[in-house]
Structure 1
Amino acid sequence: MKLIAGTDRKDREPQNVVELPLVNAVPSAPDWLPNSHAVKEWERLAPILHANGLLTEAGLSALGQLCALHGKVVQLYAAGESPNASMIGQLRGLLNDFGLTPVAQGKVKQVEAERPGNKFAGNGKRA
């Protein structure tokens, strides 16, 4: 949009952006996950994130932390207890980091290769 509006400038581009390698295949759950709820969450989320180009080598640890925390929260609820606010806040933050909440979905961009051709060919066409 900035290019079309004529406001695209080199000095506004992010500096020192690091390209992280995507995971080639959906990895299996790590052995250190604390319970079956955490493993099930990994098996649910990893294919979704991989299919959308959001799972990188660097993000595997964060995904593991998200799943471990999810497993602990579910375990507490199943025992009739409530997780503390800190746990819920951390879980919410990790979910947002992966774009797994409605608000965060618009902020997370998948990594994809550049496609040759006219980027603006579909502009102005009605669905």
Structure 2
Amino acid sequence: MANPRKPAALKSISGTTQKCRAQKSGNLDYPLLADVPQAPDWLPNAHAVKEWNRLAPILTNNRLLTEAGISALGTLCSLHGKIVQLFAAGECPTGHMLAQYRNLINDFGLTPVAQGKVKPVASEEKENKFAKLGKRPAQLRTNSD
């Protein structure tokens, strides 16, 4: 049986990491949006604009909306607007439209299952991992403290 590969964390601790063997993470860092963007003028109807105005602040505040994701959000809102129009007209949207809509809302983490899979980008402020330790309780202190 072949030896399993040593995890990267253990290589780092033991000092045996090598840049030439490091695996690329594959994550791209797109610039996050600081402000909520305006709805694009190409959205097809008022339902799509309303959905944009509902989702854009949520995604921006949770640090999930990047410059690269604006067109995908626009497509999501456009599809939502079309689906609402079809339902309002007494028609049923196609299964393909509903599947595309479901895929897009999953990509943005807007379903309960997808919320656990989509990780927001870490904020600039790092939490002090030692702040949880606090001071020792009084009964544990010795006279030398």
Q: TM-score, normalised by structure 2?
A: 0.73
Q: Distance in 2 between matches of 1:62 and 1:12?
A: 32
SS at match of 1:63: helix
> Larger radius of gyration, structure 1 or 2?
2
Distance apart, 1:28 and its partner CA: 0.8
- Listed as ranges, the gaps of 5+ residues in structure 1 are 1-6, 123-127
Distance apart, 1:18 and its partner CA: 1.1
* Aligned pairs, number: 116
Paired residues for 1:1-127 under 5 Å: 9=8, 15-112=25-122, 113=124, 115=126, 117-118=128-129, 121=132
Change (3 A) 1:26 1:38: same
Change (3 A) 1:15 1:101: same
Distance apart, 1:114 and its partner CA: 5.2
Higher relative contact order (CA 8 A, sep 6+): 1
Distance apart, 1:24 and its partner CA: 1.6
Query: Could you tell me which residue of structure 1 aligns to residue 14 of structure 2?
Result: none
Q: Distance in 1 between matches of 2:68 and 2:45?
A: 23
Query: Could you tell me which residue of structure 2 aligns to residue 4 of structure 1?
Result: none
Distance apart, 1:119 and its partner CA: 7.1
Distance apart, 1:9 and its partner CA: 1.9
Change (3 A) 1:84 1:24: same
Provide the aligned C-alpha RMSD in A: 2.3
Distance apart, 1:84 and its partner CA: 0.3
AA matched with 1:28: Q
Distance apart, 1:107 and its partner CA: 0.3
